[in-house]
């Protein structure tokens, strides 16, 4: 991890907040937008994750290299919509657990 905050474009809490927004927005857009909405949001989340993963805590790195990385690159709900939604729900749950573990361990939440 970098020794100073200046090495980051975002600090880890800001980056996690953005990551949480992108992943949960993908879930809500399933019912409101065209099929490419979730795909684009997950692509953005994956790119952000690639940037923060190597410079983040063990908990965050485990999420971005585990549950997030397991989502197929081109996950578009053309068929198997129920499974796609279930997978997004599971991803949101894993992200929630990651956020809780990080903030409970540090005794704080996002600023």
Give the start-to-end residue ranges of the domains of the chain.
Answer: 12-104
Written as six digits, the tokens of 77 are: 């709900």
Per-residue CA distances from 91 to 6, 73, 81, 106 (Å)? 30, 14, 15, 23
Rounded CA-CA distance 28/25 in Å is 5
pLDDT tens string 81-111: 788 888 889 999 999 999 998 877 666 666 5
- Residue 75 reports pLDDT greater than 70: no
Q: Where are the alpha helices (DSSP H) in the chain?
A: 12-29, 36-52, 58-65, 81-106
Give the pTM: 0.68
């Amino acid at each position: 991890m970098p020794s100073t905050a200046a090495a980051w474009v975002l600090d880890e809490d800001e980056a996690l907040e953005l990551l949480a927004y992108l992943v949960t927005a993908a879930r809500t857009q399933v019912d409101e937008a065209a099929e490419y909405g979730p795909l684009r949001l997950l692509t953005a989340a994956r790119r952000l994750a690639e940037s923060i993963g190597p410079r983040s805590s063990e908990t965050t790195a485990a999420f971005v290299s585990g549950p997030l990385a397991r989502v197929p690159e081109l996950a578009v709900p053309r068929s198997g919509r129920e499974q796609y939604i279930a997978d997004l729900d599971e991803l949101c749950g894993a992200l929630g657990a990651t956020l809780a573990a990080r903030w409970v361990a540090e005794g704080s939440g996002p600023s």
